[in-house]
Every structure is written in structure tokens, then in C-alpha cells.
Structure 1
Amino acid sequence: MTAKLRLADRTNDIFPILGFVAAMASLAMPLNPWFVAFILCGAVVAAVHHAEVIAHRVGEPFGTLLLALAVTVIEVGLILTLMQAEPEKAQTLARDTVFAAVMVILNLLMGLCLLSGAIRHHEQRFQRTGMGAALATLTVLTVVSLVLPNFTSSAPGPFYSATQLGFVAVVSLILYATFALVQTVRHRDYFLPDGDADGDGVPDAHAPPPSVQRTAMSGALLLASLVAVVLLAKNLSPVMGALLADWGAPPAVLGVLIAALILAPEGLAAVRAAKADRLQTSLNLALGSALATIGLTIPAVAILSIVADLPIGLGLDAKSTVLLFLSLIVSVQTLANGRTTVLQGVIHLMLFAIYLFTTFVP
């Protein structure tokens, strides 16, 4: 190992600890925004590194599933904390956060992955069977959670009744659990990268996997990094909110920025995988993140809503509904034939640009 690589490894081991300490300190006292931004960036890069170490050890698709679950669990914790702290703003917080995360994943993240991979490798292939299953599950989850509430009559407005909310929570958990079972056990081969002849989830050209001790250390540091990313992003949100207010941006833009920060570790890992010609791993990360975001967030929010008697508005407005359906339809077309080029990447990025523009200029 060269001195440069040793320095990079040490940096990736140090930043999660610094980030965790800074995150804990931010709960007790205000920190300098520039310092927080610096530590946040370091924690994001470190999270990517340690996620890749774990993924290399356990193989696909377990590594990508683990990262998606870790980020989503912390994201759910953040949403629930904010809902309890500010009940007056809680009605649309879950909806706005989940919708922003889905649009970031389906359009920005997928677009960057497809474009960066196609620029370097011209055309990339993936297993369309697995991606089709993931997209079908995602379509049902998003429509039931974010669109159907506008068309039910048990409660007025974009709300589910308590009974409906409980039913949707159960449906979401069943769908996500079934998908995870299919991805990791029954049809694991549908989600393996090309070139994995021995079925261990790691392409055959890769170096030997890391040791158990190193993997365990990376797991702990990954968790510390993810906690740091979420809490430091929360610490920066008032500063970003003030800046956006000065610029005249609508409040919804803050949700987009926070979602992008929280998803940054998975996003960077997915883009790096695509550039390394591992588009299957990249798509596993992207769609797995979207599924975990809805499949775990909606049940958690539903439980809090029922227990604490907090009304939760999940239904999207007409503009957001159109953009959601457009994103899902385009994603189906993108993943239909098992290969992608720069065109699909540009299409998804332009969809995100449309979403972002209409958020600023509704």
C-alpha cells in the first residue's frame, strides 16, 4: 500500500469520529457553519469509503441494501424528531421529505449514474429483471403513499384516516420486506453485477475482500458517518433556510437540499460504481434507497401519527403528482431493455432540472 493510500485510509477513519463528535456537540451549542460544512463533506466521503468496504466483504446485493437501510433508519429518526419538536409543521414534513428524496434518487442520482457511466464506457448493461421488480414495487409504494390520499373520502383533503393510514403502513412494510427477501435470498441473481461468475456478489476481477476485523471497523465508522451527516445537515438547515429566504426561494427548496445532503453518501457510492462500469451496483443503490425511504418512512410516520394523534398530509398537489408520474414512466422506459446510453442520463437530469425549477418558480 502506497503512502497516498495509507493517508486516504487514515483520513477516512478520522472523519467519522470527528463528524460524530461535532454532531453531538451541535446538539448542545451552535457551531461555525463553515466548520460544519467541512466536517460534513469529510463524513460523506468517509461514509462512501466504508460502505464500499462492507459491500466488498458481504457482496452484492447485501452491501447496497445495508447502506440503504442505514441511511433510511437515520432519516426516519430525523423526521420523527422534527415532527415531535414542531407539531405545527409536521403535517406535510414527511410528505415533502419523501417526495424530495424520491425525485432526487429517480432523476438526479440516476441521471448522474447513467451519464457518468456512459461517458466513460459508451454503453452499460444491467439485469432488467431485478430492476423491473424494484421499479414495480416503487411505483405501488409511491402512488399508494403520495397520490391515493387525494382520492379517498374517509378524511377531507390530502389525508388518510387512522384506519387507512394503518393499512397503508402494513402494505408498505409487506412490500418492502418481500422485495428485500427477493433481492437477498430467493432471486438474488437478478441483482448481481455482470461478470460475477461464482455468484458471491463480487465481480471476479476485484481484489480479495477485506478481513472480518476491517469490515466490522468499517461498519462502526459507517454508522458514525451517517449519524454525523444527518445531524450536521440538520445543524446547517437553519443557515441554509436563512440564505434561501434572502434569495427569495420557497420553503420547499430547503427540503430538497436536506434530502440531497442525507442521500449524498449513497449518491457518491452509486456514481463511483457507475464510473467503474458496475451499473448494476449503482442501480441497486439508487432504487434500493428509494424503496427503503418510502417502505420504512411511511410506516414509522403512520405509527407516530396514530399514537400522538398528529394529522399527516401525504397527498401531493397536482404539479408534484404530474412530475412523479412522469419520473416513474421515464424510469420504466430507461430500464426496459437492460442497457443505457448518455441519452437516458441527460433525460433524467433534465427531469430533475424541471422539478427544481418548478420548486423555485411554482
Structure 2
Amino acid sequence: MPRPLWTSLTPVLAALLLAATWGRHPGAAVLTLVAVVLVGAVLAAVHHAEVVAHRVGEPLGSLVLAVAVTVIEVALIITLMITADKDTSGLARDTVFAAVMISINGILGLSLLVSALKHHLAVFNPEGTGSMLATVVTLATVCLVLPSFTMSEPGPVYTGPQLAFAAIASLVLYGLFVFTQTIRHRDFFLPVDRDGETLRTGDHVDADDDGHADPPDNRTTAWSAGLLVVSLVAVVGLAKIVSPAIEDGVAAVGFPNAVVGVAIALLVLLPESIAAVRAAARERVQVSLNLAFGSAMASIGLTIPTLAVASIWLDGPLSLGLDNVQIVLLFLTVVVAILTVVPGRAKPLQGGVHLVLLAAFIFLTIAP
């Protein structure tokens, strides 16, 4: 399959633009160009991550994009916390919670809706999906809910030992999940047909539905891996350049600071969203769910431990606890997700319910 020229040129263009604008204060026209190239770099990252994912096969391939976008998320949070003039103690919480809500309600809901509308029912493996949901719920509770109820420190924050425990627990859970998904129970995370049988083509899942089981050759994979790294670096750098404009825009229209976290999460999850919808349209719903829950899991399980270490050098507290409205939305999301996952198949209605929950989250973030 020929490689689209734009996927090779865009990362290079993004890197050159980053070098030209780094450390400067570009005007409105240049910021607009940066924003356009930023979106292009994200889309290029999607392509190259999918090439690498096809090479390593499912379900390991789903982890490639999840980890890649988590790198972007962590870099953006730390960069904004260091450089912003405003209070950013809640930025990590707002971004991580937004990533969870967008993943479980947005990516999952849209994937189920697309697949169910096109193929009558969206079919997936409830065993693998259920274990992912359980892990996400546990991580979200330990890292985002409990800080609002602990009594050792005033406010929605953990003490040093409590934060260390949450970070270690997150890494342990994420490590167990990766071991389960890629080694011990790999079949639970592979796409299935209407009869629940695993979809295979030779030794590889035909995740891109192009009729070829063989993965890309080593040269193509290495090229895509290199351009993926360039794309991710460019995305982080360019996002840092446009982030002050985003913050100023949010403040100008009178939106709460939490909207900045939602904007960051929307940006970093764009690659996984596109990849998940593509897989759902090809009736590979399990791949979509791997991406949805995997991104939520990585967002908590990798971001929180990294920020726990970074908090040693960062000034100010790290507010992780959710407020009452956010806890209610998380609880409702968990209940709906359980009802969606248990049957192993979903109608368009389930996808629509999740999307309405996402809309409620975004609306209440803007107008709390």
C-alpha cells in the first residue's frame, strides 16, 4: 500500500515551524498557521501509529497510540503548570478527568454508534472489555475521587505518602493490565465476529481490513516509527506555543479554567478517536474499545505517577479530587458503561447514551 506523501511531509513541516517559532511570541496569522499544522501533525501521528500497530499486531498495537498520546498529555500538563501565570493546581485533575470522560463516553459512544448503525449491532468481547472497565474505575476512584474525602490534608489533595501510594498503585494496575492484554489473556482483547469467534487472518488480525495479513516490512515500520516520534515532539511543542492563546480565549469568553483541561484532552485524544472510529466502521469494535479504555487507563495510570514525581519540583499543591458534580457524572458513566459492556453487543442507543453523557460533561464544565 503506497504511503501518502502528506504523512511524511507534515511532521517535517511541523518540526521546522516549531524551530522557527520556539521562544517567540508570534502574531495572530502565525498562530493560525501553527494551529493548522498542529492538527496536521496529530493526523500524521495517527497514520504512523497505525502502521506501527499493524506491524506489532493486536492487542499490543492498541497500546502504541495510547502510550503515545499519554506522552503528549503529560508534557502539556507539566509545561502549562510551569509556564502559566494563573493557578494551575487543578489542571492535571481537569485534564485527566476530561480524558476519562472523552474516552469512555466519546470514543466508546461514537464507535458503538458508528458500528451499530452500519452493521446493525456492535459486537465485542465482554470479558476483555469488562476487565478494562474495572481497571479504569479503580484507577479513577483511587486517583480522582478519594482525594476529595481524605482528612489528612485540607482540600481535594493527597499528602505526600498518599500521593506516592496512588502513584505506585496506578503503575501496578497498569502493568497488570498490559501483562493481561498482551501476554496472559491476549485473545480476550482481539476482535470477534457475531458468534463470538476471534477474527484472525493467519497469524495476524487484519485490523485494517485491507485483505492482507502480512504486517508492514521493517523499513516501512522504522520510517513510520521515526516520523511518529517527530510528530509527537512537534505536537507537544506547537501546542505549547498556542496554549497561551487558548487560555486567553477561555478567559475572554468567561469560561472556567477547567475548559483548558478539556481542550488539552480533546487534542491529545484526537488520534485515538479517529483510529477508533475507523476500526468501528470496519466492524472491529474490540479494537475501538481497546483504544477507548486503554487511553483512559493510560491517562490515569501513567499521567498521575509522572505528575507525582514532577510535584517534587513543581510549586504549589496538586489538586486531584473531583467536585460533587464531577463525581456524579463519573458514577453515572460507570453504571452506564457496565450495562453497555456486559452483553457483549450494543445497539445504536447505547452509543447515543454515552454521547449524551459526554455532552452533559462538556456543558457543565462550561456552565458549572
Report the Cα offset of residue 87 of structure 1. 8.1
Question: Which aligned pairs between 1:66-85 and structure 2 lie closer than 5 A?
Answer: 66-85=64-83
Report the 3-state secondary structure (helix = DSSP H, G, I; strand = E; otherwise coil) of the residue aligned with 2:191: coil
Say yes or no: does 1:23 pair with 2:18. Answer: yes
> Given the superposition, is the C-alpha separation of residues 49 and 205 from structure 1 closer, same or farther in structure 2, using an over 3 Å criterion?
closer
> Given the superposition, is the C-alpha separation of residues 322 and 345 from structure 1 closer, same or farther in structure 2, using an over 3 Å criterion?
same
Question: Which aligned pairs between 1:1-362 and structure 2 lie closer than 5 A?
Answer: 6=2, 9-31=4-26, 32-86=30-84, 89-194=87-192, 195-196=199-200, 198=202, 200-202=204-206, 206-207=211-212, 208-306=214-312, 308=314, 310-362=316-368
CA-to-aligned-CA distance 1:17-70 (integer Å, 9 cap, x gap): 112222333322234122112212211221111122111111101111011112
Report the Cα offset of residue 16 of structure 1. 1.3
Q: Which residue of 1 aligns with 2:195?
A: none
Q: CA separation in 2, counterparts of 1:199 and 1:133?
A: 25
Q: CA separation in 2, counterparts of 1:144 and 1:235?
A: 33
Contact 1:134 1:179 in 2 (8 A): yes
Report the 3-state secondary structure (helix = DSSP H, G, I; strand = E; otherwise coil) of the residue aligned with 2:311: helix
Report the Cα offset of residue 152 of structure 1. 1.2
Report the Cα offset of residue 312 of structure 1. 1.1
Contact 1:23 1:231 in 2 (8 A): yes
Report the Cα offset of residue 88 of structure 1. 6.1
Report the 3-state secondary structure (helix = DSSP H, G, I; strand = E; otherwise coil) of the residue aligned with 1:130: helix
Residue-pair matches, total: 357
CA-to-aligned-CA distance 1:280-322 (integer Å, 9 cap, x gap): 1111111111101100111111112245574211111101111
Report the Cα offset of residue 336 of structure 1. 1.1
Report the Cα offset of residue 131 of structure 1. 0.6
Structure 1 window deviating more from structure 2 (193-202 vs 312-321): it is 193-202
Residue 211 of structure 2 aligns with an amino acid whose one-letter code is: H
Contact 2:50 2:61 in 1 (8 A): yes
Q: CA separation in 2, counterparts of 1:233 and 1:205?
A: 34
User: TM-score, normalised on structure 2?
Assistant: 0.91
Structure 1 window deviating more from structure 2 (52-61 vs 20-29): it is 20-29
Contact 1:61 1:201 in 2 (8 A): no
> Given the superposition, is the C-alpha separation of residues 87 and 172 from structure 1 closer, same or farther in structure 2, using an over 3 Å criterion?
farther
CA-to-aligned-CA distance 1:111-168 (integer Å, 9 cap, x gap): 2111122222121211111110110000000001011011111111111111111111
Q: CA separation in 1, counterparts of 2:232 and 2:184?
A: 29
Report the 3-state secondary structure (helix = DSSP H, G, I; strand = E; otherwise coil) of the residue aligned with 2:87: helix
The CA RMSD over aligned residues, in Å, is 1.9
> Given the superposition, is the C-alpha separation of residues 133 and 24 from structure 1 closer, same or farther in structure 2, using an over 3 Å criterion?
farther
Contact 1:117 1:277 in 2 (8 A): yes
Q: CA separation in 2, counterparts of 1:295 and 1:359?
A: 23
Q: Which residue of 1 aligns with 2:196?
A: none
Residue 149 of structure 1 aligns with an amino acid whose one-letter code is: P
Report the 3-state secondary structure (helix = DSSP H, G, I; strand = E; otherwise coil) of the residue aligned with 2:342: coil
Structure 1 window deviating more from structure 2 (104-113 vs 23-32): it is 23-32
Report the Cα offset of residue 98 of structure 1. 0.6
Structure 1 window deviating more from structure 2 (316-325 vs 253-262): it is 253-262
Structure 1 window deviating more from structure 2 (123-132 vs 230-239): it is 230-239
CA-to-aligned-CA distance 1:322-346 (integer Å, 9 cap, x gap): 1111111111111111111211111
Q: Percent identity?
A: 50
CA-to-aligned-CA distance 1:201-240 (integer Å, 9 cap, x gap): 4458731321111001111111222222233233222223
Q: Which sections of structure 1, spanning at least 5 residues, go unmatched?
A: none
Contact 1:145 1:314 in 2 (8 A): yes
Q: CA separation in 1, counterparts of 2:316 and 2:310?
A: 7
